[in-house]
Amino acid sequence: MVVGVCLEYLPPYSPNLNPIEEAFSQIKAFIHRNEDVMTSGDGIVFDMYMAMSIIAPADAAGFFTHGGYF
């Protein structure tokens, strides 16, 4: 510890424990299951909003818990 800074080492990168990778996986699964809805012509921004809106706060908390952050 030098000048009040504590160096904390991180574990090696592991995509299966990264919360954003789990969220992307859930979004991609939604897109594959609802391909007909995603190509209905509402626009890519709206389609992505719909895909991302399926992630509930409890899901997000679970992603972090699974990754060992809490």
Instruction: Give pTM, 2 decimals.
Output: 0.71
Domain that holds residue 60: 16-66
Report if residue 44 sits inside a domain.
yes
Cα–Cα dist 38/62, whole Å: 26
Tell me what pLDDT residue 3 has: 78
Within a domain: 21: yes
Cβ proximity of 27 and 52 under 8 Å: yes
Count how many residues are written for the chain. Answer: 70
Instruction: Give the other-Cβ count within 10 Å of 22's Cβ.
Output: 20
Residue 49 belongs to some domain of the structure: yes
- At 6-37, the pLDDT tens digits run 887 877 777 778 899 999 999 999 989 988 87
User: Is 9 a member of any domain?
Assistant: no
In a domain, 52, yes or no: yes
pLDDT at 50 over 70: yes
On whether residue 3 sits in a domain, the answer given is no
When divided into structural domains, the chain yields a total of 1
Query: Does any domain span residue 47?
Result: yes
* 40 assigned to some structural domain: yes
